[in-house]
Chains A and B, each alone.
Chain A
């Protein structure tokens, strides 16, 4: 079809001009796109808006798919066009004119500029975009930055009361009271927590190794290297993981040539055999003995478990009962060790020291025979003087003597003879086998303080593994026989209608232990040591990493304390070398360090007794000389920082009737409680004690 298109264009001058063009085509395409036959400007127009075509002499307009056309004000998809019709496409109006100059269709089009003001009004009621006022990216970003810097930086800097948001986490329970006082540990800006910050309170925390030992791992470490705070209220700062010890001790012999410590990395599979502090001679210090070497103790006492355990006995005034372990072995107040065996408490109920029915029970002191002799002489002498001699064997003159009567020379001689004969009779009773004393004790002529017959030295061991800490209290759910099977003897008394002791029940002893016990000689000899080997420990305890099994994962620290107070205090500060070497070079000179055994005053020793402490010296009835170094309960507790207060109690060795105390108790404790670092240089004291290793 032939189409004439006439555009009516408005000149800037305001004059309208007509621009004609003639086209010959099948269909007339109308739209915004330039490829249209009639390309119209206008954002409201689609790229292809409509098509005009002729069919059988009639003209039709059809909207493109999805579009519409407005014919004479009515929106439609398609419409037949006739002369005078007006199409509205966007801002354009297309008018159908009568055909002219030989064309089939003549169209006139014009941009009718209406709605401009409408658009301005519409824009005024339109708000697009979600940003408005402060709710926009930049203001919000500045608000966020400012809020955080003010609340969490500036405010805490000027007011320490608002510093809690800086706290990276709760501090451990022990430090909870100083949690909000940052300065109590953090002493300066951009300065790590130093040892002296800790040691203001923990001033007596012991070293790990003697000061002569030079190892970078020890010298360069500060408290905070290992003890990381702010990990939560219930975190144990001393729990440093299984590898903490084994990092060094796995190959300590190569790291520290010459050390006497044996390499160890894990209790489960890399631990040397237990060594025990064994008394082999009651006059000398215990020696460290490998359990495999066989343990034979010589405490100076004769004692047979076989003759005691499981026997039906009746003590003083008590009903008959079976002797059980607990009759003699009682845990101390802290539950860590057993109380020392004390004659008056554990033996005397059965083993009376009576020697004369006319002498009241309890007259005889258990101790130095010289004192006994003095008391016996005094007892009988006073009977003579008081005229109370009733003894039929006594000379008649003495029996008839009136109290207070003057004593003749002859009477004095008679009475001396009589008293000495009574003493001799008593001593025979004591010393002749199986005499009252000789039943258990060795006798030595001249050993008593008066030069007469005396008791051979006795030394009873209570701490057998001084390099570690074993708590009986922590194992009190087990029968004694689980670990000490050699004493499993039960001798039912056919005459006694008594309940069997609980430990004798068959199920009280695990079969594994019964089997092992069968190989063990039931203890009859005094020298038997009924202490378990490491195999017994391993029945329950596995290596540190043995999680998930039936056994208890057991890190080194379960038995071995890291800080050994007796080795001197930790260096005050890693960055203060002079102070560190001064402090540790000679612990006794350090201001804040009080060596073990020096904390002696009456109040402390009283406290020790009050709390059930084992003041061995007091028990055997011989007050210590005032200048004798003695152990206080408090100092002992402090020496084991990894255990709760009250958990450590017993002193290390207990002596029987005869005191054989080390000259320097603090050095003894160094060996007993410490991880024994008895090394070549400078620890002669520790080595001399033997039990340390």
Chain B
């Protein structure tokens, strides 16, 4: 995983400086050029800025290819990501300069709006990558998700053993805890990080409220069972927090990437239309 600091600070903020220089140059060109009829996307400055913006967008899309090419030489991936973040954010301001701040209810502004969604989700992604992994690591406490699941499975097995000699009431609780505990699920369930209707929680509650008076070995087994289920509930909370972090790290991308492709489609329509009807 690439931490945000590594790519944000890549080569002393090289691409932040590049983005600022590009924006400043564009602003100067925009201000200095006063074409007859007023500034617009169809002035020469408008065309130039539009070409730069469109080229940048298609180059940004190329990150999707570059990051899958493990044999690639040249700039390291974190350099690519650094440029991706800074130049992508610069588009937020470059494109309005291209259009001379003209917006309307049309496919041209739609392309810009889609791009804004892409950039906003990208910024959210950077923020998530800055904040979430630390919490995620702390929550995992040196154990992988698979290990946690493995431990849940073990506890399930131990519960079955522990409950073997106990009355039906306990067996039912164990079955509830095993069969009615779901991990993950819908996007909403994963993002919430909790399950209000968790079978394990219900089982634990019913065990604690048990009024059955056991004696001797049964008493020890009951205690062991409650400890196991309580342990499982803690693990489940840990897993669900982990899944929540994981969902946060994935969620922005599922917005970012499809909207990026939609932006490209709208951009193609935009270019087609303005050169058809120019």
Contact B154 A130, beta carbon cutoff 8 Å: no
- Asked if residues A114 and B157 are in contact (CB atoms below 8 Å), the reply is yes
Q: Is the CB of B254 within 8 A of A137?
A: yes
**A154 nearest in chain B by CB position:** B269
Give the residues from 141 to 162 in chain A that come closer than 8 angstroms, CB to CB, to chain B: 141-145, 147-149, 152-153
Q: Whole-angstrom distance between the alpha carbons of A123 and B181 in the complex?
A: 11
Question: How far, in Å, is B109 (CB) from chain A's closest CB?
Answer: 9
If the complex has contacts A125-B181, A129-B184, A168-B106, are A74 and B223 also in contact, measured as CB distance less than 8 A?
Answer: yes
A119 touching B38 in the complex, CB below 8 Å, given contacts A125-B181, A140-B258, A168-B106: no
Within 225-278 of B, Cβ neighbours of A (below 8 Å) are at 227, 231, 243, 246-247, 250-251, 253-254, 257-262, 264-266, 268-269, 272-278
Interface positions, chain B 34-91, Cβ under 8 Å from A, are: 34, 36-38, 40-42
Contact B146 A43 (CB under 8 A): yes
Q: B208 on the interface (CB 8 Å rule)?
A: no
CA of A9 to CA of B149, assembled, Å: 25
With both chains docked as a complex, state the minimum distance between the C-beta of B64 and any C-beta of chain A, in angstroms: 10
Is there a chain A Cβ closer than 8 Å to B124's Cβ? no
Q: Which residue of A lies closest to B249 (CB)?
A: A130
- CB nearest to B143 among chain A residues: A46
A165 touches B261 (CB 8 A): no
Q: Which A residues between 223 and 260 are near B, CB-CB below 8 angstroms? A: 225-228, 231-232, 235, 237, 239-241, 243-244
What sequence of 0s and 1s flags, for each residue 44-78 of chain A, a beta carbon within 8 Å of any chain B beta carbon? 10110000000000000000001000000111000
Closest residue of chain B to A76 (Cβ to Cβ) is B227
Judge if B187 is at the interface, Cβ distance under 8 Å: yes
Q: Do A152 and B247 form a contact, CB below 8 Å, given A122-B152, A189-B276, A226-B36?
A: no
Give the contacting residue for B110; candidates A42, A165, A227, A241; CB below 8 A.
A165
Measured between beta carbons, the chain B residues less than 8 angstroms from A240 are: 36-38
Instruction: Name the B residues within 8 Å of A145 (CB-CB).
Output: 261-262, 264-265
B143 and A167 within 8 A (CB): no
Tell me how far the C-beta of B147 lies from the nearest C-beta in chain A, rounded to whole angstroms.
4
* Beta-carbon contact of B223 and A231 below 8 Å: no
Residues in chain A near residue B9, CB distance under 8 A:
none
Query: Across the interface, do B254 and A127 meet the contact criterion of CB distance under 8 Å?
Result: no
Decide: B36 and A225 in contact? CB cutoff 8 A. yes
Instruction: Give the complex CA separation of A235 and B100 in angstroms.
Output: 14
- Whether A73 pairs with B150 at a CB distance below 8 angstroms is no
Asked if A409 CB lies within 8 Å of chain B CBs, one says: no
List of B residues within 8 angstroms of A152 by Cβ: 107, 110, 266, 269
Q: Which of B142, B262, B269 contacts A141 (CB 8 A)?
A: B262
Q: Is B19 an interface residue (CB 8 A)?
A: no
CA distance A149 to B263 in the complex (A): 11
B259→A123 contact, CB < 8 A:
no
**Are B273 and A166 touching (Cβ within 8 A)?**
yes
> Which B residue sits closest to A229, measured CB to CB?
B37
Q: Is B185 at the interface (CB under 8 A from chain A)? A: yes
Tell me if A115 counts as interface (CB < 8 A to partner B). yes
Nearest-neighbor residue (CB-CB) of B37 within chain A: A228
Inter-chain contact B277/A166, CB cutoff 8 Å: yes
Are A243 and B142 neighbours in the complex by a CB distance under 8 Å? Answer: no
Main SS class of interface, B = helix
Chain B residue numbers with a CB within 8 Å of A137 are 253-254, 257-258
Q: What is the number of residues of chain B that contact chain A, defined by CB distance less than 8 Å?
A: 73
Residues of B within 8 A of A115 (CB): 150, 153-154, 156-158
| CB pair B34 A243 closer than 8 Å | yes
Is the CB–CB distance between A75 and B108 below 8 Å? no
Confirm or deny: B151 has a beta carbon within 8 angstroms of a beta carbon on chain A.
yes
Check if A182 is an interface residue, CB within 8 A of chain B.
yes
B-facing mask of A108-129, CB < 8 A → 1, else 0?
0000001111110111011111
A168 and B142 contact, CB distance less than 8 A? no
Least CB distance, B187 to chain A, in whole angstroms: 5
Chain B residues whose CB sits within 8 angstroms of the CB of A90 once the complex forms = 151, 154
Nearest chain A CB to B140's CB is how many angstroms away? 11
What is the chain B residue whose CB lies nearest that of A114? Answer: B157
Does A546 touch B at the CB level, under 8 Å? Answer: no
A114-B157, A243-B34 known; A43 and B150 CB under 8 Å?
yes
Inter-subunit contact A127/B265 (CB<8 Å): no
Contact of B185 among A42, A127, A169, A241 (CB under 8 A): A127
Known: A75-B231, A228-B40. A169 touches B102 (CB 8 A): yes
Residues B261 and A241 in contact, CB atoms below 8 Å apart:
no
A244 to B153, CA, bound (A): 80
Return chain B residues, CB-CB under 8 Å to A235: 38
Q: List A contacts of B37 (CB < 8 A).
A: 225-228, 237, 240-241
B152-192: CB near A (< 8 Å → 1, else 0) gives 11101110111000000000000000110111110100110
Chain A residues near B107: list those with CB within 8 A. 148, 152, 165-166
Q: Say yes or no: B269 contacts A148, CB within 8 Å.
A: yes
Kindly state whether residue A131 has any CB partner on chain B within 8 Å. Answer: yes
The answer to whether B251 and A130 have CB atoms under 8 Å apart is yes
Which B residues lie within 8 Å of A186 (CB)?
A: 276-277
**B216 contacts the other chain (CB 8 A):** no
> Within the complex, what minimum Cβ distance (angstroms) separates A178 from chain B?
14
Report chain B residues within 8 Å CB of A121: 153, 156, 178
B141 near A66 with CB under 8 A, answer: yes
- Distance in angstroms from B115 CB to nearest chain A CB is 12
Asked whether any CB of chain B lies closer than 8 Å to the CB of A136, the reply is yes
B142: chain A residues at CB < 8 Å are: 46-47
B134 interfacial contact with A, CB 8 Å = no
Q: Which of A73, A123, A144, A168 has the most CB of B within 10 A?
A: A168
A342 nearest CB across to chain B (Å): 44
Decide if A688 is an interface residue (CB 8 Å cutoff).
no
| Beta-carbon contact of B250 and A122 below 8 Å | no
A186-B154 Cα distance, complex, nearest whole Å: 74
Given the contacts A152-B266, A190-B275, A125 and B157 also touching, CB distance less than 8 Å = no
- Measured CB to CB, the nearest residue on chain B to A125 is B182
Q: Return the contact of B258 from the options A114, A141, A166, A244 (Cβ within 8 A).
A: A141
Judge whether A368 is part of the interface by a CB distance below 8 angstroms.
no
- In the complex, A117 Cα to B153 Cα: how many Å? 8
Across the interface, B102 reaches (CB within 8 A) one of A43, A149, A231, namely A231
User: A125-B183, A130-B250 are known contacts. Are A244 and B104 too (CB-CB below 8 A)?
Assistant: no
Interface residue B224 (Cβ < 8 Å from any Cβ of A): yes
With a 10 A CB-CB cut-off, give which of B231, B257, B258, B276 has the most chain A CB atoms.
Answer: B258
Output the nearest chain B residue to A149 by Cβ-Cβ distance.
B265
Query: A residues within 8 A CB of B269?
Result: 148-149, 152-153
Minimum C-beta distance from B218 to chain A (A): 13
Since A129-B250, A153-B268, A168-B273 are in contact, a sample of 20 more A-B pairs with Cβ atoms closer than 8 Å, ordered by chain A residue number, is A43-B143, A74-B227, A115-B158, A116-B153, A118-B160, A118-B178, A121-B156, A127-B182, A129-B246, A137-B253, A137-B258, A144-B261, A145-B264, A148-B107, A153-B272, A168-B41, A168-B102, A228-B38, A239-B38, A241-B36
The 13 sampled A-B contact pairs (Cβ below 8 Å) are A66-B141, A74-B227, A115-B153, A118-B154, A122-B153, A126-B183, A136-B254, A137-B257, A168-B104, A169-B104, A186-B277, A231-B38, A241-B36
Closest 7 CB pairs of A and B: A144-B262, A140-B258, A43-B147, A119-B153, A228-B37, A115-B157, A141-B261
